[in-house]
Chains A and B, each alone.
Chain A
């Protein structure tokens, strides 16, 4: 493979972790790896992207109050028209990444392979891996038509690693005016207070499920997560029930986490949940139902009521500290 492009989201000069993960993957398959970035701080981000293997960084400049989807996709489509299609465009499956990949797919009339958790090269083409049926099976797929292949890749699929690369060539590109598709404008940005680490970056994740019985009991999960300097997560069931926001969801339709330890509290272990957390180094599960599927993958399973075990555990950890 000759060329792979990586969509690199960045904030205040710091590239997203998933962008660095994708660069590590890209440079193992292609000689020329370019990153596409935008927004304030892009110039600073370029240095880090270079260290991680980007030999060229396309800087699309300021987005203003536009959402990234329409204009960044248009910029990439213009780049394809000007420089020819790369073998692949790798996009992290984030809120904005999904928008960009979807718009680009429709613009170029090329399909997208989504929920990719691994890549390999066969006969000079990229083959993607997907975890299906709760992660019990691995499906491999490839594109059959003309490129570029667009891959939406889940965070934590690859390890980010600096390659010791030098300063990349930085090329300014335009963010085209896309008219009506760019009609949605950001009027305000709100940061929610978070005391601990980000869910998909945390070394410890404590998640709650339906077994908590009520939204109020989620406070136990939050307290335990905070004591362990971890992040609180949730099963789809309690997100659907409106107890916690979608951003907390771990699983197929939520985030993939690979912490040192994952503590599942009152989570039965639906396949849709397990696919998002079975990559944890250690799994501890607390559940009343001894036949809960979560126990089939737990390193330590406690058959018990979260309402009795969690308060005692919280007290014991406080005493320990």
Chain B
């Protein structure tokens, strides 16, 4: 069982985020980290490979400036190797452009299964994995709460509005994993040391045989018109609980006729 995991390296969400004043795209110049959302896919992939009794986990990532710090985190967790696509032509790519790049990379790797997060933390479009599946001509099962694999199929509990569906898909397939379904392991010291020498294959748009016009800002075919301050909500009354704050809440709920 060979599993590829799409991982995104993003600016630290706890830090200050900024938009480029001319392109209105997120500034990604500083150090990038592994998106927390992707740690669940990496963990799930490692567990599936372990339960299958063989195979390996390959990371696939698209990032500016040949950034690998986030990849090293996932390699330290136990992934065997990574494919990194980095190219100036990719700046400003949208979700579909990203899916085209990932599809070309996945076609080279030929895994049995591709895992991804339901959405990234920074862009959170949540469309790339299924666009990737459509470009590959594969089935996809999104919003997985539980994943099991056999040699020929993957069985998924898929989140629905009402509860969940039990979905079985032949392989290869794309599965997106919701957060919290497995507990991502912390990289061990040994893992961190080993990650330094694990192979990261660096590719460009040309290496993948893609036209530069299909990806990047040119391929995105969308434009930010403006960015403005939103209407602000004002803070109301703030009280410190001295044993009677619950009465304040009850009075407030009465006032707005909820009670």
Contacts and interface: CB of A to CB of B under 8 A. Distances in A.
A299 B13 contact: no
A299 B252 CA distance: 9
Nearest to B134: A106
A190 B163 contact: yes
B237 to A, nearest CB: 6
Given A102-B127, A184-B141, A298 B167 contact: no
A102 B131 CA distance: 5
A309 B37 CA distance: 32
B173 A189 contact: no
Interface in B228-259: 228-230, 232-241, 243, 245-250, 252-253, 256, 258-259
A139 B221 contact: no
A321 B258 CA distance: 12
B52 interface: no
B3 interface: no
A136 B258 contact: no
Contacts of B134: 70, 73, 102-103, 105-107, 181
Contacts, number: 281
B237 A299 contact: yes
Contacts of B252: 282, 284, 299-300
A240 B236 contact: no
Contacts of A320: 250, 259
A184 B139 CA distance: 6
B130 A98 contact: yes
A142 interface: yes
Which applies to chain B's interface (DSSP): helix, strand, loop or mixed?
A: mixed
Given A138-B227, A253-B118, A106 B258 contact: no
B124 A115 contact: yes
Interface in B124-176: 124-131, 133-135, 137-143, 145, 156, 158-170, 173
Interface stretch (B61-69, B74-82, B92-100, B194-202): B92-100
B22 interface: no
Contacts of A186: 165-167
Given A245-B180, A301-B239, A305-B241, A67 B249 contact: no
A136 B99 CA distance: 29
Contacts of A122: 225
Chain B: interface size category: 35 or more
Given A106-B131, A261-B258, A313 B238 contact: no
A107 to B, nearest CB: 6
Interface string A135-159: 1111111111100000010000000
Interface stretch (A47-55, A78-86, A167-175, A289-297): A289-297
Contacts of A180: 137-139, 170
A204 interface: yes
Nearest to A192: B163
A73 B161 CA distance: 20
A297 B235 contact: yes
Contact of A295 (B95, B170, B238, B250): B238
A114 B127 contact: yes
A143 B173 contact: no
A260 B255 CA distance: 12
Nearest to A179: B137
A142 B224 CA distance: 7
Contact of A185 (B145, B168, B234, B249): B168
Contact of A301 (B19, B118, B223, B238): B238
26 contacts: A67-B167, A69-B142, A98-B127, A99-B142, A102-B128, A103-B133, A105-B127, A136-B229, A137-B228, A141-B224, A152-B125, A181-B139, A183-B139, A184-B167, A192-B164, A198-B161, A239-B178, A242-B180, A245-B145, A253-B179, A272-B121, A283-B233, A297-B234, A298-B235, A309-B246, A316-B246
Given A106-B96, A296-B233, 6 more contacts: A69-B140, A95-B158, A180-B170, A181-B139, A239-B180, A253-B121
Interface of B: 13, 17, 19, 24, 36-37, 94-96, 99, 118-119, 121, 124-131, 133-135, 137-143, 145, 156, 158-170, 173, 178-181, 183, 220-230, 232-241, 243, 245-250, 252-253, 256, 258-259
Q: Would you list the 3 A-B pairs with minimal beta carbon distance, nearest first?
A: A304-B241, A145-B221, A102-B130
